[in-house]
Chains A and B, each alone.
Chain A
Amino acid sequence: MSRGLLFSILFHAFVISMTVLTLPFMLRDPVDLPPIVSVEFIQITDKTNIPFAPKAREILEKVKKEDKRVVSEQAPPADKAKEKPDRIPMPEDKKEIKKIVKKKQNPEEIKPQIRQASEFEKKELFDPDQIAALIDKAKEEQAETQKKSNKLTQSSVKDSFARGLSLSEEDALRAQIFGCWSVPLGLPYDEKLLVRIKLKLKQDGTILKSEILDHERMNTPGQSFYRVLAESALRAVRICQPLKVPPTGYERWKDLQLNFDPTEMLKG
């Protein structure tokens, strides 16, 4: 009996103390929360003027130097290439035609500081193919070593600062491809029309490798439109090259995925 009474008293004491402790909190005014303000986060690249933390700046500058060195070793500036052709003997008629293509496709000059002379110009300058091959090899090796050394330190750190393209860079690229892409008109309205193309780019924006990601769908029966669509997207990329990529930060955009989807356009 006394044991039961003791338990009862203890229990009551607990309940009362809990009530005393918690009730005042409930009586308090609700916390006055400030209204929610929506904020859009935009990725900024190393182009913007916001100063980096001292350590980050050090790393970035190191990377930039590295980039510059790569360029200067790889090829001479583009403006030099433009002056010379008259003075050197033309290798072949065919090559001259090629040169015209180049000019037509890419009339605007990209900043000479970073731009790498295209393959055709290279050939004109150091006509013997061997030299071009040597340069190519050197470039490959350079890229390879850079890749190795960067793998754990620079690239990962750099990525964390400036991942992706800035809005203006993305817009420039998008606008360029819009102009090159002839959308096939025979597409069905009710099918999924997304074509994903993965690109590996050279520093001058030309394409090293292109790959359709949903490749198996191209040969699916009843999906013949997909093959046509994928081919049109590939054609667009090829016609457009060299792509309008940012002059710096090759590591950022050397792998690029383009998602072609004409659904909105067809509906609109």
Chain B
Amino acid sequence: MKKIIITLLFFIFSVQNANSLIKVDITRGNLDPLPIAVSPLHVDEKSEDLKGLKEKKLGEEISKIIERNFKSTGLFNPLKKDAFVQKPDIAHIKPRFEDWRLIKAQALVTGKILVKDKKLKVEFRLWDLTAAKEMVALSFTTTPTNWRRVAHIISDKIYERLTGETGYFDTRIIYVSETGPKDQRIKKLAIMDQDGNGTKYLTLGNELVLTPRFNPTNQLVTYMSYFKNMPRVYLLDIETGIQEVVGNFPGMTFAPRFSPDGKKVIMSFAKDGNSDIYSMDIETRKVERITEHSSIDTSPSYSPDGKYIAFNSDRSGLQQIYVMRSDGTQVKRITFGKGLYGTPVWSPRGDLIAFTKVRKGRFYIGVMRSDGTGERLLTENYYQEAPSWSPNGRVLIFYRETKSDSKGKGFSAKLWSIDITGYNERMIKTETDASDPSWSSLLSK
């Protein structure tokens, strides 16, 4: 009996003690970008001289690319180098955390490079300055001409460690480059790094090209081009430059897109004024009809697991977005808002669908959940469309046209990107006017 009473008393006391712990709920914070210091990478004195490569400047150049990448996300604030409290040659030691905290930095990147035997060795470390500990440390060896990609890969690793999401810097963007007056546009396929560097043109511009889309493996691009005034879907191998027509349809084919496994191309095919959705196996060239309706069904896009397809259709009278199983069954309308909805694109994360909406003559880019709920319009303008997701499903790239005046001047088409929060809208620099962008997946996985 005594024991029971003692146990009970003990229990009551312990409960009281537990209750006495003060709890404070913190439900708000600031959304200021994280202050980060990117120290220039230290170039090892033993580095060899290589033709066409300024080794001495390489460390600084790489750090500049990393800074630009971070700045473009809107999530980080790279600090000015004039304020740095230690020189770059700290790659092999722990930084003086208190001193770096003085300039309000919360994270620090240090590193060093060595060019030896015609190879580039890069090491970097990311430090949490408030906790005074190392967060990630990696080293790569590659050919020296690849130094830009090294900078992007480092950016990806740091981004991943600091945000918990995969990065999107070591990626490329394919788009339609446009030159010349509006009524005589020359359109070429162009490809560039995600930051606008290293533009290459893939077609000559004698045929009109539209809607290029990356294959998940990055080797292949599908796009639409006019052949004898008939739109056709093509496949292009970026590495070899070989291109071929997809399928042999008697009518017009539009809006091609790869399936997530890269084995199929899904597109719409028009016959007698009615278009439906078809998929084609790239290897066997076997064609499968997916929708069969008297309305116009276009712009199909697979969900990342390949089980569903989102598309737009005017079967209800106005153009709206629908979702169906990938075999064409269980068609379900998901948009019911006012205005027209088009170009649905499933996010690589699978949770959201991006779309273009037209209402009262204005164009909006927005996102919603895959069941159509939670619609959020991110940006509004005179004319903008064709959203494409960054590989981590965090950023959308699209193109925007400006209105030409009465003399036909002032018209331009540019690529823009926006975070799915609706913040950080920014123009992406391209050599020429640009439209129809498509973002590749990560080149290094």
Number of residue pairs spanning A and B whose beta carbons lie under 8 angstroms apart: 130
Per-position contact with A for B85-122: 1 when CB-CB < 8 Å, else 0?
00000000000001101100010000000000000000
Per-position contact with B for A184-199: 1 when CB-CB < 8 Å, else 0?
1111111000000010
> A97-B102, A190-B351, A228-B162 known; A260 and B26 CB under 8 Å?
yes
Q: Which of A94, A182, A262 touches B34 (beta carbons < 8 Å)?
A: A182
Contact A183 B29 (CB under 8 A): yes
> A185-B163, A225-B164 known; A252 and B30 CB under 8 Å?
no
Smallest beta-carbon distance B167→chain A, Å: 11
Contact B22 A252 (CB under 8 A): yes
Residue of A nearest to B85 (CB): A97
A257 to B21, CA, bound (A): 7
A58 to B29, CA, bound (A): 42
Per-position contact with B for A233-268: 1 when CB-CB < 8 Å, else 0?
111101100000000000011011111111111000
Cβ of A165 under 8 Å from chain B: yes
A235 to B13, CA, bound (A): 34
Contact B30 A179 (CB under 8 A): yes
> A97-B99, A228-B162, A228-B163 known; A258 and B130 CB under 8 Å?
no
Contact B421 A258 (CB under 8 A): no
Among A174, A181, A186, residue most surrounded by chain B Cβ atoms (within 10 Å): A186
Per-position contact with B for A93-104: 1 when CB-CB < 8 Å, else 0?
010011011001
Cβ of A14 under 8 Å from chain B: no
A-side interface size class: 35 or more
Smallest beta-carbon distance A66→chain B, Å: 18
Q: List A205-233 residues whose CB lies under 8 Å from chain B.
A: 224-229, 231-233
A252 to B23, CA, bound (A): 11
Cβ of A77 under 8 Å from chain B: no
> A163-B19, A252-B22, A253-B22 known; A182 and B163 CB under 8 Å?
no
A156 to B128, CA, bound (A): 40
Smallest beta-carbon distance B396→chain A, Å: 15
Determine the chain A residues whose CB is within 8 A of the CB of B128 once the complex forms: 231, 235
Cβ of B48 under 8 Å from chain A: no
Q: List B135-172 residues whose CB lies under 8 Å from chain A.
A: 162-165
Contact A186 B163 (CB under 8 A): yes
> A101-B101, A228-B164 known; A261 and B22 CB under 8 Å?
no
Q: Which of B16, B30, B99, B394 touches A182 (beta carbons < 8 Å)?
A: B30
Contact B25 A259 (CB under 8 A): yes
A182 to B31, CA, bound (A): 6
Determine the chain A residues whose CB is within 8 A of the CB of B28 once the complex forms: 178, 181, 262, 264-265
Determine the chain A residues whose CB is within 8 A of the CB of B24 once the complex forms: 165, 170, 173-174, 177, 256-259
A178 to B340, CA, bound (A): 41
Smallest beta-carbon distance B7→chain A, Å: 18
Interface of A, helix, strand, loop or mixed by DSSP: helix
Contact B164 A100 (CB under 8 A): no
Contact A264 B27 (CB under 8 A): yes
Determine the chain A residues whose CB is within 8 A of the CB of B131 once the complex forms: 231, 234-235, 238
A170 to B131, CA, bound (A): 25
Cβ of A73 under 8 Å from chain B: no
Cβ of A76 under 8 Å from chain B: no
Determine the chain A residues whose CB is within 8 A of the CB of B33 once the complex forms: 182
Determine the chain A residues whose CB is within 8 A of the CB of B419 once the complex forms: 185
Contact A186 B29 (CB under 8 A): no
Determine the chain B residues whose CB is within 8 A of the CB of A264 once the complex forms: 27-28
Q: Which of B26, B162, B394 touches A258 (beta carbons < 8 Å)?
A: B26
Contact B31 A185 (CB under 8 A): yes
Cβ of B192 under 8 Å from chain A: no
> A159-B20, A225-B164 known; A185 and B27 CB under 8 Å?
no
Cβ of B208 under 8 Å from chain A: no
Smallest beta-carbon distance A238→chain B, Å: 4
A262 to B421, CA, bound (A): 15
A184 to B25, CA, bound (A): 18
Cβ of B283 under 8 Å from chain A: no
Residue of A nearest to B73 (CB): A185
A132 to B42, CA, bound (A): 40
A165 to B99, CA, bound (A): 35
Q: Which of B21, B74, B98, B164 touches A184 (beta carbons < 8 Å)?
A: B164
Cβ of B32 under 8 Å from chain A: yes
A261 to B74, CA, bound (A): 22
> A228-B162, A231-B128 known; A182 and B20 CB under 8 Å?
no
A185 to B29, CA, bound (A): 11
Determine the chain B residues whose CB is within 8 A of the CB of A235 once the complex forms: 106, 128, 130-131
Smallest beta-carbon distance A76→chain B, Å: 24
Smallest beta-carbon distance B5→chain A, Å: 17
Determine the chain B residues whose CB is within 8 A of the CB of A262 once the complex forms: 27-29
Smallest beta-carbon distance B354→chain A, Å: 15
Determine the chain B residues whose CB is within 8 A of the CB of A231 once the complex forms: 128, 131
Determine the chain B residues whose CB is within 8 A of the CB of A100 once the complex forms: 102
Determine the chain B residues whose CB is within 8 A of the CB of A257 once the complex forms: 21-24
Residue of B nearest to A235 (CB): B130
Cβ of B236 under 8 Å from chain A: no
Q: List A112-130 residues whose CB lies under 8 Å from chain B.
A: none
Contact A185 B30 (CB under 8 A): no
Smallest beta-carbon distance A95→chain B, Å: 10
Residues of B within 8 A of A (CB): 13, 16, 19-34, 74-75, 98-99, 101-102, 106, 128, 130-131, 162-165, 351, 394, 419, 421
Q: A225-B164, A228-B164, A260-B29 are in contact. List 19 more A-B contacts (CB 8 A).
A: A97-B102, A101-B98, A156-B13, A165-B24, A178-B28, A179-B30, A184-B163, A185-B75, A185-B163, A185-B419, A185-B421, A186-B75, A186-B163, A228-B162, A231-B131, A257-B22, A259-B24, A262-B28, A265-B28
Residues of A within 8 A of B (CB): 94, 97-98, 100-101, 104, 156, 159, 163-165, 170, 173-174, 177-190, 198, 224-229, 231-236, 238-239, 252-253, 255-265
24 examples of A-B residue contacts, CB within 8 angstroms: A101-B102, A156-B13, A174-B24, A178-B26, A181-B29, A181-B30, A182-B31, A182-B34, A183-B29, A183-B31, A184-B164, A186-B75, A186-B394, A224-B164, A228-B164, A231-B131, A252-B20, A255-B22, A256-B24, A257-B24, A258-B23, A259-B26, A262-B29, A265-B27
